Homo-oligomer: A and B are copies of this chain.
Amino acid sequence: MLKNVEFVDKLRSSGLRPTKQRLKICEVLFNRDKTFHFTINDLAKNISEKLNEKISLATVYNTVHAFKAKGYLKEISINSDRSYFDTNTKIHHHFFDEDTNELIDCDDDDIEKINVKKNITGKKINSVEVLIKVASDNQNQK
């Protein structure tokens, strides 16, 4: 459980002013045990519910993008109709539950190291990430 002061420092050290709104967003995003996967809408709703306060949607967008640019958040593509963000910014793999649309982080040792045998000339590999789609194990899968 991080303190406000720590968020202030964190923001300041990355050149972002520690404003009321940003601190609240930090609270919601980073005061958690588990990784948080969310869409901007989820986040905005979460803020107004948890903190009983409304932050303009535009500000939520701005802040999330600022945090992404600073490397505090990572954007994830699962389906194209919505952007997901992840508080876990390391390169890592995901399970995606097609029944619930829920995204679940993999631990490093859930998946054996991936061996890429092909190279693209002049290009270097920046990331290798796996997406495992799962659904309920019975006849009527989606």
Residues of A within 8 A of B (CB): 75, 77-84, 95, 97-99, 104, 106-107, 109-112, 114-118, 120, 122-137, 141
Q: Which residues of B contact A132 (CB under 8 A)?
A: 116, 125, 127-128
A sample of 20 inter-chain contacts (CB < 8 A) reads A77-B77, A77-B78, A77-B79, A80-B83, A95-B118, A95-B120, A106-B118, A107-B118, A110-B118, A112-B115, A114-B130, A123-B134, A124-B135, A124-B137, A125-B132, A126-B135, A126-B141, A127-B132, A128-B132, A129-B133
Cα separation A126 to B124 with both chains bound (whole Å): 30
CB neighbours (8 Å) of A141 from chain B are: 124, 126
For A137, give its contact among B75, B110, B118, B122 (CB under 8 Å). B122
Q: Which residues of B contact A99 (CB under 8 A)?
A: 123
A17 to chain B, nearest CB (A): 26
Contact B124 A134 (CB under 8 A): yes
* CB-based nearest B residue for A83: B80
Assuming the contacts A79-B77, A83-B80, A114-B114, asked whether A129 and B130 have C-beta atoms less than 8 A apart, the reply is yes
